[in-house]
Amino acid sequence: MKYLLLALLGISTASSDIIAEWSPLKSQFENSDLKPSGKALEIPEFDTNGNLIFANKQHLILPEEIAKKLPKQNIAIEARVRIDQSQRWGSIASYSQDNGSYERGWILGFNGDQFSFRLSTGGQLLEVKAPQSFEPGHWAHLLGTYDGKKISLFINGVLVATRSASGPIVLPDIPTPFVIGAYKDKDEFYPINGRISSVTIRNSLPTQKELAAIAKKSAGVTFSVRPAVRFLSPGKALLYWEASHPGKAIIAYGPTRKLGTVLESTSKDLRHELLLENLQPHTRYSYRISSETDDGPVFSPIYEFDTSMNYMPKGLVADKTHPTATAYLADLPTQPGFAVVVGLTDGILTKAIAAQSQLNVTAFDDDLERINKLRKELSIEGLHGTRITLIHLPDLQKIPLTSSVGNLACTERDTLPCAPAELTRLTRANGGRTALPDGTMTSRPPLPGAGEWTHQYGPPSNTAYTGERLGGSQASKDLELQWIGRPGGNFGIDRQPRMSAPLAVNGRLYHQGLNRLMALDAFNGQILWGMEIPDLRRVNIPHDCANWCVDDNFLYVAVKDLLWVLDGSTGERVRTLKLTADHRESHEWGYIAQEGDAVIGSSVRMGAEFKKYFGDAWYDKVGRDSDTANVLSDNLFGYSKSEWKGRWSYGRGLIINPTISLSDGKLCFLECRNPELKSDTTGRETTKDLWKDIYTVCLDANTGKIIWEKPFPKTLLKTDKKGFIQVSYGAMTSKGFLVTLSEGDTDEQGKHTGKGIFSYHYFDLANGKLNFQSQTNWRINHHGAHISHPVVYEDRVYTDPTGISLPDGKVLDHKFGPREGCSAVVGTTYGLLLRGINRCLTFWSHEEKKPTHWPRLRPSCWLSFLPSQGLFLVPEGGGGCSCGGWMETSLAFIPKANSGIPLAPITEEAKK
Amino acid sequence: MNPIPLLLTLCAVASATPWPTYRHDNRRSGVSPEALALPLKEAWTHDGGAPQQAWTGPAKWDAYSKNDGLQSMRNFDPCHFTTAINGLIYFGSSADNAVHCLDAKTGKEKWLHFTNSSVRFPPTIEDNKAWFGSDDGFVYCADAKTGKTLWRKRAAPTDRLVPSNGKLISPWPVRTGVTVENGRAWFAASLLPWKTSYLWCVDSNSAEDAYLTEHSEVTLQGAMLAGGSQLYIPQGRAAPIAFDQENGKRTKQIGQAGGVFCLLTEDNQLIAGPPNQKEQNEQIRIADTSSGKRLTTFNNTTRVVVSKGKAILHSVDKLQCLDLTRKGELEAAIAATQSALKKLDPKVEEQKPEIEKLKKSLIQSQNDLKGCLLWQIDHPTPVELIIAGDQLIAGLNNEVVILETSSGKQLWKAPVKGRAYGLTPSEGRLIVSTDLGYIHTFAAKP
């Protein structure tokens, strides 16, 4: 640790207002001692940049007499910091006591993942807190100021919070440690995890010019399109981004934060693509982008990607012009998957299919001698079991493989050794190809009754029901394992804390993890592609909307201020869409949906979206607080897919994101038209006044024109004097727009009574007429029960634990469940899927009105399972929950009726 | 393996101690009686292809509970583990689905026996037979010299195959290895807790059934252990289950254990870990298999090896040797004293002398505990620890080292490619398997 006292108290320096400064660098350290005084409390360790590593219990104790002589007003305390882990009561620099009612001194620090500055003028510590979360691992410049009247907090030169106060700072009058890197007082000690490169204390407040200089210096590298890493093949990945200014760009990357390898982009324009080769497997890499500016080099934060997520198949050396293989593979998507070959001759076609595609080829054959000969050859080449697997089967009439696996199903022989129907059965639905020996090729259609989960809650109408029949399944026993495996526990954020749901369409399953996304073949689990996107993450979806949606061809992903349009089969970014011109500097992409030719987006204030997940980031605390505030959009706009051009925008009030619904060309939502709130917003619902001037609005999704608008009726429990809105959801049937509010009860003093209701408000889709208002009671007010998202059928709506009928709004005569744990509920034609018995995945039957479950299958804490494509898809969502014996895997179920293999009990014959 | 004949064999041919099953014996002790003649020199390296593990690593952290550094609890197949006997080395491959037999002297492949899916444990070798299970749901017995199939038995209830990580597996893969003892072979076909799992016991020569028991809501994965008339099967993120070896009936769940690192001591204590992902520290616990109670806990460690009442383990960049027998006695005494103290009331005058006496005894026992630490040295964290005679062999990242068990003094080391998870000292050789798929073989210098 280096302690550098640049200026002594009361002595003028070159920077006349700096009264003390510490720059904890290695070169300023002598053992554990600081120069000229002070001490590191643990043996100091430094990173490669020479910064002291604050970890475990490391912190610095400074001379208390300095703290006592600091100004009591007209003080500015600034620090350049990198917090690696959010926590309670984090302190960067402090001289404070917080012992019951005895609160004295000041603290520049953070609580949870929000920076804060607190000081006492004799009473309780007064706090100003950043409204947005900081990004762990990213450097920031913090500045807390007090002029005797106002406490202010600046981040990277920008004012983020301020409040009034009066009088001088009152310091502790008992012995108190003056600390950097921990909160420490008489009886409390909270060390931090991260870096602090400087702490400076001034006796004057910064000028606007100085703040602008800080902002410029803190900006680092600026991007036109944020960076991403896409895996190409084993050991190889592509890092790409677009700079906001032309100039030389360099990346440094390596398996530790020491980085190491340096590459320079040769691009002459703004687009940069760098091939990263010889990457080690199962390694978490760090990288940083730098670019030249007139003021010298600037740097991005240090980002990460993990090669454990690289599941791309290895290539093989073989004939890549085999005519039959070429014909079989023609026009099939260029993506990994499975090929199933029934009957070999010499293995050449099998090998050619593997060589000319990214498919894993499994061949079944009845000649053990032939199989073993080929296996040995392939094993020597390192191909058997990885790209090509040969399986001996005495009888090729019936292949003991679950149905609908092969992206390609064929034979090497002139005569098919099984019935054509068997080959078709093995062919994957949604476009898998059956190739018969006579050259006939057919494409398999989707499974009967299959639905498509294209948006957060199924269709863009948010019903959490797509019409998926799941082959008539009504219980867990009606479904059989279709595939199991990756991605696993290392993919996501432990319980996927109320993140965007997976999506599935056109035979593909898309899943988000910890700043990453992946596409899988829904039918065989093969990972098609994966991307690591540092700026991807969005959480607290119940109070916001998802950051993605999909159609047959493209995946639409909101990343900061842009919409990335990705090729669904390869992950290649084919274009980006921008916000409306008036919002590009100040907003980020919020809502995203697509239907027909329309892509709908919205603008939310920069930083309004929730990103924190470490610690108490649970977003379902009963009552209103900063974590249960709705995210609000300032406008909505429409793009055309056919032209990729913007068509319209609408921005009258504040649009409540979780209410936005789209169906059949109509876009419905709730909008607050309170002009005061419109002009003074952080992009989140900060006041209950939001609900005073609410309208229900229906737009034409293709033109943006208002079809109808109505003042929202009185809520059923909440009044101006008491109660609160916990969540608000919009959904559409073919006839109506349903607004479901979760309303909590309070007494006149605002204290929650423990009770609440779901209130339903159903508007005629044609004219906005209110058809009915109805209500059901909360079952409990925790574990997501009180923020239950509705499952909406044409004739019923379910929220935990019951629901209402449509179109009359009568309360149902039955309950479903038990629903346990934090997840959402989704519907199929014959039942509800939820986290239920023993907090495991559960299937509740509409007909039997009983649940059955899958032991040890833990979904995420919002929505990580979906009935779609005729399958029940369950990508990994809860493996990081360290408290149970969970299976920690992704898997899919297929209805038993479609699985193709009757499951017989063990017979005496079988035992032999 | 039958321990009695094996012991006799070892006594008779002390210079050619084999390693006939996963971690040497059915207790998975990782202890071989014979030391290696040092120095060793690398004889050959075989590239077995990168292991295709059944499961990925764990989550980066449990962010909600603020637990980071979560441990993998199902890491039972990080490398191609080996068995070795009669100048031959065997391994099962999760990469190419085959069991391989190599000439120990040259590394040349003697035979290959393919299955239809991954083989995650090395074959158990006895009486010139090799037994192994596969993810295809079958168990195989092959001639150990030729690889010729002697019998094949379906352990799964059906032939059904499903995709898994680019391969096809049975929904009932055999991921317990095959335990052979007294002419019988035990194995389990299991994966999905919502499906019935099957524990088999068959005649090891004929595959004729001795018994088959069915078990619900379990996932039996990881090397099976046998000892004290019980079988123990890990479950990864749930506690291992004990079964009566004679009839396959489930007897108890060892609630103080977890993970897939399991070994049985000579006095039937089950050492296993990690117990769960919730603990901040990596832990290995010792449980009394008769009561299921926890006897002691080792913090900040993932590997322990026990021999002759002494435990060698690592903890935070240290290797240490403990007198486990004495430690157990003292901890039992401390627990008993604390229990006795709880029953006494310090406010009752006539109980005060007894309380004082017990407190003194407690302090004495606690002080004596410190004496259980026989030695401790600074040392990087190993991924595997085994014992060969008076040698401790530690597998490290890109290195393998041999130390004196009596002092921790380093005797020999050599570089390897990758993390050295598999260590097999056998017949004068040290065979090292790494997570990159390499099998290095070191032999005494001529």
Please report, for the domain that includes residue A295, its CATH number.
2.60.40.10
Angle ∠(A232,A235,A238) on CA atoms, nearest 5: 40
Higher-scoring residue by pLDDT: A717, B300: A717
ipTM score for this prediction = 0.93
Pick the range with the lowest mean pLDDT from A313-317, A436-440, A483-487, A500-504: A313-317
Q: Which residues, other chains included, contact A748 with Cβ-Cβ below 8 Å and sequence gap of 6+?
A: A721, A722
**What is the domain extent for residue A379?**
323-443
**Distance to chain A for B429, nearest Cα, Å:** 25
Q: What is the strand order of the sheet B149-154 is part of?
A: B124-126, B129-133, B138-143, B149-154
Same domain flag for B205 and B153: yes
Pick the range with the lowest mean pLDDT from A837-841, B48-52, B69-73: B69-73
Q: Is the pLDDT of residue B37 over 70?
A: yes
Q: Is residue A877 situated within a structural domain?
A: yes
Which of A188, A217, A246 is where one domain is finished? A217
Same domain flag for A669 and A702: yes
Q: Is residue A428 situated within a structural domain?
A: yes
On whether the CB atoms of residues A175 and A105 are closer than 8 A, the answer is no
Q: Is the pLDDT of residue B160 over 80?
A: yes
Q: Which residues, other chains included, contact B180 with Cβ-Cβ below 8 Å and sequence gap of 6+?
A: B1, B21, B124, B126, B131, B186, B204
**Distance to chain B for A800, nearest Cα, Å:** 24
* B98: nearest Cα among A340, A526, A360, A380: A380
Q: Which residues, other chains included, contact B285 with Cβ-Cβ below 8 Å and sequence gap of 6+?
A: B256, B257, B271, B272, B273, B275, B294, B295, B296, B297, B298
Same domain flag for B248 and B366: no
- The alpha carbon dihedral of A749, A753, A754, A758 has a sign of negative
Q: Is residue B9 situated within a structural domain?
A: no
Q: Is the pLDDT of residue A131 over 80?
A: no
Determine what percent of chain B is predicted with pLDDT higher than 70: 96
Q: Is residue B219 situated within a structural domain?
A: yes
What is the average pLDDT across B59-65?
A: 85
Same domain flag for B313 and B327: no
What is the average pLDDT across A598-603?
A: 98
Q: Is residue A126 situated within a structural domain?
A: yes
Instruction: Tell me the DSSP string of A752-785.
Output: EEEEEEEEEEEEETTT--EEEEEEEE-S-SSTTG
Structure tokens at A659: 């209410």
- The alpha carbon dihedral of B11, B15, B18, B23 has a sign of positive
Instruction: Give the pLDDT confidence of A72-100 residue by residue, as tens digits.
Output: 999 999 999 999 888 888 999 999 999 88
Same domain flag for B208 and B59: yes
Quickly count: other Cβ atoms within 10 Å of residue A707's Cβ.
18
Q: What is the pLDDT of residue A840?
A: 96
Searching chain B, which residue's CA lies closest to the CA of residue A524? Answer: B163
Q: What is the pLDDT of residue A218?
A: 82
Pick the range with the lowest mean pLDDT from A223-237, A893-907, B309-323: A893-907
A449 vs B: CB within 8 A: no
Query: What is the β-pairing status of strands A337-342 and A408-410?
Result: parallel
From B65, B117, B163, residue closest to A882, measured CB to CB: B65
Same domain flag for A37 and A51: yes
What's the total number of domains in chain A? Answer: 4
Same domain flag for B357 and B428: no
Same domain flag for B407 and B355: no
Q: Is residue A11 situated within a structural domain?
A: no
Q: Which residues, other chains included, contact B118 with Cβ-Cβ below 8 Å and sequence gap of 6+?
A: A385, B52, B54, B77, B93, B94, B95, B97, B134, B135, B167, B169, B173
Q: What is the pLDDT of residue B54?
A: 98
Q: Is the pLDDT of residue B185 over 60?
A: yes
Max intra-chain CA distance, chain A: 97
**What is the domain extent for residue B61?**
18-317+379-444
The three-class DSSP label of residue A555 is strand
Max intra-chain CA distance, chain B: 79
Contacts of A494 in chain B (CB under 8 A): 59-64
From A493, A857, A888, residue closest to B237, measured CB to CB: A888
Q: Is the pLDDT of residue A477 over 70?
A: yes
Which of B373, B395, B412 is where one domain is finished? B373
The three-class DSSP label of residue A324 is helix
Same domain flag for A525 and A633: yes
Q: What is the pLDDT of residue B64?
A: 83
Q: Is residue A465 situated within a structural domain?
A: no
Higher-scoring residue by pLDDT: A384, B293: A384
Contacts of B235 in chain A (CB under 8 A): 885
What is the average pLDDT across B388-409?
A: 97
Residues 370-429 of A with CB under 8 A from B: 371-372, 375-376, 378-379, 382, 384-386, 389-392, 400-402, 405
pLDDT band at B2 (very low <50, low <70, confident <90, very high): very low
What is the average pLDDT across B388-404?
A: 97
Q: What is the pLDDT of residue A769?
A: 98
A881 vs B: CB within 8 A: yes
From B159, B168, B198, residue closest to A389, measured CB to CB: B168
Same domain flag for B130 and B265: yes
Searching chain B, which residue's CA lies closest to the CA of residue A306? Answer: B60
From A85, A382, A526, residue closest to B49, measured CB to CB: A382
Q: What is the pLDDT of residue A911?
A: 45
3-state helix, strand, coil in chain A (%, to 5): 10, 40, 45
Whether residue A379 and residue B98 make contact (CB cut-off 8 A), yes or no, is yes
Q: Is the pLDDT of residue A680 over 80?
A: no
Whether residue B162 and residue A879 make contact (CB cut-off 8 A), yes or no, is no
The CATH number of residue A113's host domain is 2.60.120.200
Q: What is the pLDDT of residue A905?
A: 47
Instruction: Give the pLDDT confidence of B122-136 residue by residue, as tens digits.
Output: 999 999 999 999 999
What pTM value is reported for the model?
0.90
From B63, B162, B167, residue closest to A493, measured CB to CB: B63
Same domain flag for B32 and B117: yes
Q: What is the pLDDT of residue A870?
A: 98
Residues 230-269 of A with CB under 8 A from B: none
On whether the CB atoms of residues A584 and A594 are closer than 8 A, the answer is no
pLDDT band at A909 (very low <50, low <70, confident <90, very high): low
Best of B46, B47, B52, B56 to substitute, by most chain A Cβ atoms within 10 angstroms, is B56
Q: Is residue A883 situated within a structural domain?
A: yes
The CATH number of residue A422's host domain is 3.40.50.150
Query: How many helices (H) does chain A have, and how many strands (E)?
Result: 9, 63
Q: Is the pLDDT of residue B281 over 90?
A: no
Q: Is residue A686 situated within a structural domain?
A: yes
Same domain flag for A427 and A526: no
d(CA B79, CA B42): 19
A900 vs B: CB within 8 A: no
What is the average pLDDT across A290-310?
A: 89
End-to-end CA distance of chain B: 32
Please give the DSSP secondary-structure letter assigned to residue A720. S
A481 vs B: CB within 8 A: yes
Q: Is the pLDDT of residue A770 over 70?
A: yes
Q: What is the pLDDT of residue A773?
A: 98
Structure tokens at A439: 């050259």
Q: What is the pLDDT of residue A309?
A: 97
Q: Is residue A767 situated within a structural domain?
A: yes
Instruction: Give the pLDDT confidence of A771-790 residue by residue, as tens digits.
Output: 999 999 999 999 999 999 99
Same domain flag for A334 and A304: no
Q: What is the pLDDT of residue A25?
A: 87
What is the average pLDDT across A569-592?
A: 96
Contacts of B64 in chain A (CB under 8 A): 494-495, 497, 613, 615-618, 881
pLDDT band at B377 (very low <50, low <70, confident <90, very high): very high
d(CA A113, CA A130): 9
**Distance to chain B for A486, nearest Cα, Å:** 6
Instruction: Give the pLDDT confidence of A452-465 residue by residue, as tens digits.
Output: 999 999 999 999 99
How many Å is the Cα radius of gyration of chain B? 22
Same domain flag for B157 and B298: yes
d(CA A720, CA A712): 14
Q: For residue A867, say if its preceding peptide bond is cis, omega within 30 degrees of 0.
A: no
Q: Is the pLDDT of residue A791 over 50?
A: yes
The three-class DSSP label of residue A240 is strand
Please give the DSSP secondary-structure letter assigned to residue B16. G
* A428: nearest Cα among A496, A520, A343: A520
Structure tokens at A863: 């929505």
On whether the CB atoms of residues A477 and A469 are closer than 8 A, the answer is no
Which of A443, A459, A488 is where one domain is finished? A443
Mean residue pLDDT across chain A: 92
Same domain flag for A195 and A265: no
Half-sphere exposure in the Cβ direction for A708 (13 Å, CA): 15
Q: What is the pLDDT of residue A28?
A: 84
Searching chain B, which residue's CA lies closest to the CA of residue A841? Answer: B194
Angle ∠(B205,B211,B213) on CA atoms, nearest 5: 135
Same domain flag for B300 and B271: yes
Same domain flag for A231 and A374: no
Mean residue pLDDT across chain B: 92
Q: Is residue B2 situated within a structural domain?
A: no
d(CA A588, CA A155): 19
Q: What is the pLDDT of residue A56?
A: 85
Q: What is the pLDDT of residue A576?
A: 98
Same domain flag for A599 and A680: yes
Same domain flag for B138 and B241: yes
The three-class DSSP label of residue A153 is strand
Which of A196, A217, A238 is where one domain is finished? A217
Quickly count: other Cβ atoms within 10 Å of residue B171's Cβ.
22
Q: Is residue B5 situated within a structural domain?
A: no
A525 vs B: CB within 8 A: yes
Residues 776-795 of A with CB under 8 A from B: none
From B66, B153, B276, residue closest to A614, measured CB to CB: B66
Alpha helix ranges (H) inside A3-145 = 64-69
What's the total number of domains in chain B? Answer: 2
From B56, B161, B209, residue closest to A489, measured CB to CB: B56
Bridge partners of A365, per DSSP, are A392
How far is CA A650 from each of CA A544, A565, A609, A677, B394, rounded to the nearest angstrom?
19, 22, 20, 17, 67
Same domain flag for A295 and A385: no
What is the average pLDDT across A666-681?
A: 88
* A130: nearest Cα among A148, A147, A143: A143
d(CA A311, CA A360): 12
Same domain flag for B358 and B309: no
On whether the CB atoms of residues A305 and A339 are closer than 8 A, the answer is no
Q: Which residues, other chains included, contact B335 with Cβ-Cβ below 8 Å and sequence gap of 6+?
A: none
Same domain flag for A262 and A340: no
d(CA A175, CA B357): 42
Return the axis-axis angle of helices B352-370 and B324-343, rounded to nearest 10°: 160
One-letter amino acid for residue A846 of the chain: H
Determine what percent of chain B is predicted with pLDDT higher than 90: 80
The CATH number of residue B276's host domain is 2.130.10.10
Same domain flag for A52 and A161: yes
pLDDT band at A323 (very low <50, low <70, confident <90, very high): very high
Instruction: Give the pLDDT confidence of A490-529 residue by residue, as tens digits.
Output: 999 988 889 999 999 999 999 999 999 999 999 999 999 9
What is the average pLDDT across B132-152?
A: 98
Same domain flag for A175 and A266: no
Instruction: Give the pLDDT confidence of A816-836 residue by residue, as tens digits.
Output: 999 999 999 999 999 999 999
Query: What is the β-pairing status of strands A752-764 and A736-746?
Result: antiparallel
Instruction: Give the pLDDT confidence of B294-305 residue by residue, as tens digits.
Output: 888 888 888 999
Alpha helix ranges (H) inside A244-361 = 323-329, 348-355
Best of A402, A540, A853, A906 to substitute, by most chain B Cβ atoms within 10 angstroms, is A906
